[in-house]
Amino acid sequence: MAPTLAFDIATIFPTFFDGALAVGVLGKALERGLVEVRVHDLRSYSDDAYRSVDDYPYGGGVGMVMKPEPFFRAVEEVEAQFGRGWRVFLTPQGKPLTQEVCRSLAEREHLILLCGRYKGVDERVREGLADEEISIGDFVLSGGETAALAVVDAAARLVPGVLGDEDSAATDSFATGLLDHPHYTRPREFRGMAVPEVLLSGNHGEVEKWRREQALKRTRAVRPELLEGKD
């Protein structure tokens, strides 16, 4: 079976992804051939014997900047073998990763994720390679690998067949524009905290009404901006 969605990840730490790709939903999706992830070591595309991928910044300043050559060579080799991909540069300067963005990414057949490190990446990578720039939040990570893994996980779970229940993704937080409602399982009472009676009533209409109310209440309390402009 040909994968519905393929990822190529360019990074200087290819082993970063080993554990996460071997377990859970992602592990099963890879095993079943619904998703494919190929990881490429940027040091393999360096042009010197030291496998250098960074250098001092022009104009001075602290930190090291990743060179453009390894990124361009990695993308060129990947696309020569697998065809043109949608190139995503993971950067704090990118647009926020939202559920809507994840849905858009999941509809593409081939994603190439570019992971930076150190002080930054040569601007020509953004100008000459990136189709889209994505950030996973207003904070700084040590590198783009954590962000790339978030993109892989969030997009892959939207591929048909990846989740055991197709309705699961449709009821996740943000899928309807709201945060998710509270969930409960056994036991009915735990350390003085009881399951709401409505969930035990068997009245599906009342259960859905309660869940909707709780989702609205939680969203209003924690992320009120998600309700702006909505009825």
pLDDT tens, position by position, 142-198: 999 999 999 999 999 999 999 976 656 666 667 678 999 999 999 999 999 999 999
Nearest to 128 by CA among 114, 142, 144, 148: 114
Predicted pLDDT at 66: 97
Residue 77 and residue 39 share a domain: yes
End position of a domain, from candidates 156, 187, 209 = 156
Q: How many residues does the chain have?
A: 231
For the domain that residue 219 is a member of, what is the CATH number? 1.10.1270.20
Tokens, residue 40? 């490429």
- C-alpha 20: how far from its chain's center? 12
Q: Does residue 161 belong to any structural domain of this protein? A: no
Per-residue pLDDT of the chain (231 residues; tens, 9 = 90+): 567 899 999 999 999 999 999 999 999 999 999 999 999 999 999 988 899 999 999 999 999 999 999 999 999 999 999 999 999 999 999 999 999 999 999 999 999 999 999 999 999 999 999 999 999 999 999 999 999 999 999 999 999 999 976 656 666 667 678 999 999 999 999 999 999 999 999 999 999 999 999 999 999 999 999 999 887
Residue 192 and residue 152 share a domain: no
Predicted pLDDT at 95: 97
Of the chain, the percentage scoring pLDDT greater than 70 comes to 94
Predicted pLDDT at 34: 96
Predicted pLDDT at 170: 60
Q: Does residue 19 belong to any structural domain of this protein? A: yes
Residue 185 and residue 134 share a domain: no
DSSP letter string, 60-99: --SS-EE-HHHHHHHHHHHHHHH---EEEEEEEEEEE--H
Beta bridge partners of 133: 89
Structural domain span for residue 100 = 5-156
Predicted pLDDT at 29: 96
**How crowded is residue 11: how many other Cβ atoms within 10 Å of its Cβ?**
24
SS3 at position 120: strand
Q: Does residue 165 belong to any structural domain of this protein? A: no
pTM: 0.90
